[in-house]
């Protein structure tokens, strides 16, 4: 399994938290359009430790392999999703979005 994570580092625009959270959640159906996607999650911070990085939200989406992820990111659908984020999410967010592609190690079944 291979997962791409997008980290929203920053905070909502003043007075826009509820609207930002709603727009982040509204983005999730768009992930179904990526070929080969296994699942996607949006994690929105509720409580963080003192001194923790200011990661407000994390989007995770999974594929069977690195090659499957790369193929999905090479489709026109990726640009459509990016355009939707730029239109509906980013105006409500002060910060940056950084990505990491990660191998998954899972807890063994008992």
SS3 72: helix
Any alpha helices (H) in 5-107, and if so which ranges?
17-26, 66-73, 76-88
Spell out the domains of the chain, with CATH numbers in brackets: 2-103 (3.30.70.100)
pTM metric for this prediction: 0.91
Say whether pLDDT at 106 is over 90: no
CA angle 41, 95, 70 (to 5 degrees): 45
93-103: strand order across its sheet: 39-44, 55-63, 2-12, 93-103
The rounded distance, in Å, linking the Cα atoms of 45 and 43 is: 6
Q: Express each pLDDT in 41-99 by its tens digit.
A: 999 998 889 999 999 999 999 999 999 999 999 999 999 999 999 999 999 999 999 99
- Cβ atoms of residues 18 and 107 within 8 Å: no
Q: Which residue has better confidence, 106 or 9? A: 9
């Amino acid at each position: 399994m291979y997962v791409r994570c997008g980290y929203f580092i920053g905070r909502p625009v003043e007075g826009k938290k509820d609207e930002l959270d709603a727009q982040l959640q509204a983005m999730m159906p768009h992930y179904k359009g990526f070929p080969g996607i296994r699942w996607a999650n949006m994690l929105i911070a509720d409580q963080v430790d003192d001194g923790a990085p200011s990661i407000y939200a994390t989007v995770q989406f999974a594929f069977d392999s690195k090659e499957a992820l790369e193929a999905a990111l090479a489709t026109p659908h990726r640009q459509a999703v990016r355009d939707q984020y730029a239109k509906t999410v980013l105006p409500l967010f002060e910060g940056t979005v950084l990505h990491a592609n990660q191998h998954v190690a899972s807890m063994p079944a008992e």
